[in-house]
């Protein structure tokens, strides 16, 4: 910003530089639909030039960007001269600027209070629609405000744009409707999804997508894009309109069948305008379309005429812009964050940038594929977006600004936290650390899972206690739990001697467990309770499981290549093997695992490989107890109903699983029926 007066030569040089930059950005924005800077940065350049020209009037030239709009239309389209210029709007960014706008209007009109029409500022492409005797005959882009581009055939493909106005409403002989072509957020997301499926280029934002679609030479391409039109005013009209206010005009346009946004409202005085701004800003994320601010217009047309125009904008209207949601910054580095599940996530460290109301210094790049898809290099200049409370997102790279020394990012082969192997399983986008039992990043999650009811069942070892044990450096792996003493635990916050003794007793009780529980407790990815039980039944003991290769693992029912690969990588990680050895070493963890075998009761042979689904509340037992009975009899309990399910056991308040079972014809049992089945098979 030019906040102080510069020397004449310095000001002239800076003004020339600004004009060149702004003209180039106008060309990229209006002609190429490929902006290289966000709106906020463009606005800053524009305002700096305005201030320079105000300080040095001799620098003002007729061809300055401050004296005209946009850029000339593309040669590929027939030019359309606007009979009434399509002017831009001055911007306000701060509350005081809004109050100053209201004050200027009141002073010119000589009134104490003004009624305004307020409406969202669409982030699309401005167009004009010309109707003659109610028939749509021509459509044009705004272009440079005086001359636009003839996009009539493309506009005819916009589904919500009426090609003929109802004769019964008696529209004027000539009616030029002005508005915005835009794309709804959900339509934009779906279009980008289809682009990704077909290997096409993803669009950066709905505005660019809308502008690009409307400028297609082939209207058949435009017809495939989910464009919409939204009216916000009129231009050339034969005769004088009967409506006396802008809000009445918009209601009349709606009556003609033209799309008009329902968020518009009237407001009195600056406090009313600011209250509207706050309301729309709060709703911004929930609106179906993108907006970048709100527009205030003096509602009364006679007052609008009295206020008039400046060279490029009306005096009776202003755009109150929201804080920038997109900004440019530079990627200083890309590092890897390890999450609680072991997922390795590349994160871009940015030159700090203020966007969406906060300073952003880091942004997730999600996974290695995403880094490659967006072609992000260390050193790149990038667009960063943040809307409301949404997590900041790296939108795209400005490749024109890529430095010669930009470096590619490569996912590490070892976990940066624990040094264990980092692997990416087939069919997955995420790279993961295999050191689940030793990795500091996964430590809390691993311990909580290890102690959970369906695993080692260590009562009292909850999240808050685990937090203290990990953060105090007392426990690093599950094996360390078995060395805890009452003295150590009782010294922790909210842990008296009795509570500590109860936890130590629960840990001691867990030393006697089943192979299935122990396997489940390890927290191997893709191995849940059911698969752990299958592995226990198949191998019978821990040692054969530890030595099994992928081919042997795939012999286990329901263990396919992905699960086998996950098990092998986890058990093959040396760090994990050391923890397992400690857990079962009588001198260290001392866990005694009951050797698994085929179920001993007579029902086992008949229920082997039979599948059950439990739903609802059973009257005489918990679902966990029902699961134990079924698995002891050789059956398997699954989470969802399919055609392969043999029985669904339904209790009180059974939900959609029961409905699906009935629809598929799966046999349904209640609790007595389950017990009878088990007894009968015995």
Q: Is 503 helix (H, G, I), strand (E, B) or coil?
A: helix
Q: What pLDDT is attached to residue 599?
A: 45
Contact 432, 343 (CB under 8 A): yes
SS3 333: strand
Query: What integer pLDDT is reported at residue 329 of this predicted model?
Result: 94
Structure confidence at residue 604 (pLDDT):
47
> What's the pLDDT score for residue 363?
94
d(CA 333, CA 155): 45
SS3 for 236?
strand
Rounded CA separation 583/256 (Å):
78
CATH superfamily, domain 604-681, is: BRCT domain (3.40.50.10190)
Query: pTM, whole model, 2 decimals?
Result: 0.56
Compute CA distances 155 → 72, 144, 181, 227, 250, whole Å.
20, 19, 9, 9, 21
Of 478, 484, 480, the C-alpha closest to 500 is 484
Q: For domain 81-321, which CATH number applies: 3.60.20.10, 3.30.200.20, 3.30.470.30, 3.30.70.3040? A: 3.30.470.30
Cα distance from N-terminal residue to C-terminal residue, the chain: 87
| CA-closest candidate to residue 549, choices 564, 534, 562, 566 | 564
Strands 592-594 and 512-514: parallel
Of the candidates 216, 235, 209, 232, the one whose C-alpha atom is nearest the C-alpha of residue 80 is 235
Angle between helices 574-584 and 561-572 (to 10 degrees): 70
Hey, what CATH topology would domain 8-67 get?
Answer: Helix Hairpins (1.10.287)
Domain ranges of the chain: 8-67, 81-321, 326-401, 425-594, 604-681
CA distances for 74 relative to 210, 441, 589, angstroms: 16, 55, 76
Q: What are phi and psi of 296, to 5 degrees?
A: -110, 130
* pLDDT of amino acid 67: 65
How many CA atoms, within 13 angstroms, populate the side-chain half-sphere of residue 596? 24
Burial of 395 (0-12, 13-18, 19+ CB in 10 A): middle
Q: Which residues contact 615 (CB under 8 A, 6 or more apart)?
A: 648, 649, 650, 651, 654, 655, 657, 658
The tokens of 609 are what? Answer: 């490989």
Q: Residue 497: enclosing H or E segment and its boundaries? A: helix 497-509
**Three-state secondary structure of 416-485:** CCCCCEEECCCCCCCEEECCCCCCHHHHHHHHHHHHCCCCCCCCCCCHHHHHHHHHCCCCCCHHHHHHCC
User: Annotated catalytic residue: which of 8, 121, 186, 321?
Assistant: 121
Q: Which residue has the tokens 């982030």?
A: 123
CATH number of 425-594: 1.10.150.20
Which token pair is 124?
């699309």
Q: Return the SS3 of 130.
A: strand
What are the residues facing 346 on neighbouring strands? 336
Block means of pLDDT (10 residues each) for the chain, 682 residues, are: 60 89 76 73 87 86 66 71 92 93 96 96 93 94 91 89 89 96 92 82 80 84 89 93 94 94 95 96 90 95 93 90 86 93 94 84 92 95 78 90 95 94 86 92 92 93 92 94 94 91 95 94 91 90 93 88 92 94 88 68 58 88 81 79 90 86 92 84 48
| Residue 205 token pair | 């934002």
Helix (H, G, I), strand (E, B) or coil at 653: coil
Residue 57 has phi, psi (to 5 degrees) of: -55, -25
Alpha helix segments (H runs only) across 336-421: 368-374
- The pairs formed by 465-470 with CB atoms below 8 angstroms and a separation of 24 or more are 465/489, 465/492, 465/495, 465/503, 468/492, 468/493, 468/495, 470/443, 470/444
Q: Which residues are CB-neighbours of 558 under 8 A, at least 6 positions away?
A: 530, 531, 534
Whether 203 and 183 have beta carbons less than 8 Å apart is answered as no
Q: Is residue 8 among the annotated active site residues?
A: no
Do strands 326-338 and 317-321 pair parallel, antiparallel, or not at all (unpaired)? unpaired
Output the pLDDT for position 72: 58
How high is the pLDDT of residue 75?
61
Three-state DSSP class for 170? coil
Distance (Å) of CA 619 to CA 189, 421, 626: 47, 48, 11
The token pair that represents 674 in the structure block: 């389950």
Q: What per-residue confidence (pLDDT) applies to 605?
A: 54
| Phi, psi for residue 227 in degrees, rounded to 5 | -85, 150
Single out the residue of 496, 498, 343, 321 nearest to residue 432, CA to CA. 343
Vertex 571 angle, CA 568 and 574, to 5°? 125
Domain 326-401 belongs in CATH node 2.40.50.140:
yes
Per DSSP, the three-state class of 376 is coil
């Amino acid at each position: 910003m030019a906040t102080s007066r510069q020397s004449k030569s310095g000001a002239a040089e800076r003004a020339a530089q600004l004009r060149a930059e702004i003209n180039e950005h106008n060309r990229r924005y209006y002609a190429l639909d490929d902006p290289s800077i966000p709106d906020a940065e463009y606005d800053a350049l524009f305002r700096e030039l305005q201030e320079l020209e105000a300080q040095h009037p001799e620098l003002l030239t007729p061809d300055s960007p401050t004296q005209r709009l946009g850029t000339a239309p593309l040669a590929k389209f027939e030019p359309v001269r606007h009979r009434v210029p399509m002017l831009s709007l001055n911007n306000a960014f701060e509350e005081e600027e809004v109050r100053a706008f209201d004050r200027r209007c009141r002073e010119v009109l000589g009134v104490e209070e003004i009624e305004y029409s307020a409406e969202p500022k669409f982030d699309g492409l401005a167009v004009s629609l010309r109707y003659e005797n109610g028939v749509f005959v021509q459509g044009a882009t705004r272009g440079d405000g005086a001359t636009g581009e003839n996009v009539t055939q493309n506009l005819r493909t916009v589904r919500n744009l009426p090609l003929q106005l109802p004769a019964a409403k008696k529209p004027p002989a000539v009616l030029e409707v002005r508005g915005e072509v835009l794309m709804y957020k959900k339509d934009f997301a779906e279009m980008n999804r289809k682009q990704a499926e077909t290997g096409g280029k993803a669009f950066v934002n709905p505005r660019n997508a809308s502008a690009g679609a409307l400028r297609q030479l082939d209207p058949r391409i435009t017809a495939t894009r989910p464009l919409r039109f939204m009216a916000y005013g009129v231009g050339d009209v034969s005769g004088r309109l009967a409506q006396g206010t802008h809000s009445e005009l918009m209601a009349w346009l709606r009556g003609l069948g033209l799309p008009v946004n329902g968020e518009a409202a009237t407001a009195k005085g600056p406090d009313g305008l600011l209250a509207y701004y706050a309301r729309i800003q709060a709703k911004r994320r929930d609106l179906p379309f993108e907006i970048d601010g709100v527009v205030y217009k003096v509602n009364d047309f006679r007052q609008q005429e009295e206020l008039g125009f400046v060279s490029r904008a009306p005096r009776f209207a202003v755009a109150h812009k929201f804080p920038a949601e997109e900004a440019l910054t530079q990627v200083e580095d890309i590092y890897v964050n390890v999450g609680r599940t072991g997922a390795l996530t590349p994160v871009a460290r940015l030159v700090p940038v203020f966007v969406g109301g906060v300073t952003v210094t880091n942004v997730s790049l999600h996974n290695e594929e995403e880094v490659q898809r967006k072609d992000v290099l260390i050193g790149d200049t990038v667009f960063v977006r943040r809307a409301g409370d949404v997590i900041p997102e790296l939108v795209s790279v400005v490749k024109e600004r890529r430095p010669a020394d930009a470096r590619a990012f490569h996912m590490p082969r070892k976990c940066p936290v624990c040094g264990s192997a980092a692997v990416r399983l087939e069919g997955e986008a995420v790279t993961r650390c295999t050191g689940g039992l030793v990795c500091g990043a996964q430590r809390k999650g691993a311990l909580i899972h290890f102690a959970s009811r369906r695993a080692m069942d260590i009562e009292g070892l909850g999240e808050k206690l685990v937090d203290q044990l990990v953060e105090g450096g007392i426990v690093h792996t599950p094996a360390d739990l078995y060395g805890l003493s009452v003295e150590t635990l009782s010294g922790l916050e909210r842990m008296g001697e009795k509570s500590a003794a109860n936890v130590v007793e629960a840990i001691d009780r867990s030393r006697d467990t089943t192979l299935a529980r122990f396997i489940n407790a390890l927290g191997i990815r893709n191995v849940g309770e059911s698969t752990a039980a299958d592995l226990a039944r198949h191998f019978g003991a821990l040692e054969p499981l530890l030595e099994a290769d992928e081919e042997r693992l795939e012999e286990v029912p329901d263990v396919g290549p992905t699960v086998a690969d996950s098990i092998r990588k986890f058990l093959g990680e040396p760090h994990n093997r050391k923890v397992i050895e400690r857990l079962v070493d009588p001198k260290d963890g001392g866990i005694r695992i009951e050797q698994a075998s085929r179920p001993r009761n007579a029902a086992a042979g008949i229920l082997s490989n039979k599948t059950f689904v439990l739903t609802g509340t059973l009257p005489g037992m918990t679902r966990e107890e029902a699961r134990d009975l079924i698995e002891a009899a050789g059956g398997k309990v699954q989470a969802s109903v399919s055609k392969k399910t043999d029985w669904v056991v339904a209790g009180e308040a059974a939900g959609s699983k029961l409905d699906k079972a009935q629809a598929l014809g799966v046999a349904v049992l209640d609790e007595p029926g389950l017990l009878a089945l088990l007894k009968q098979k015995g």
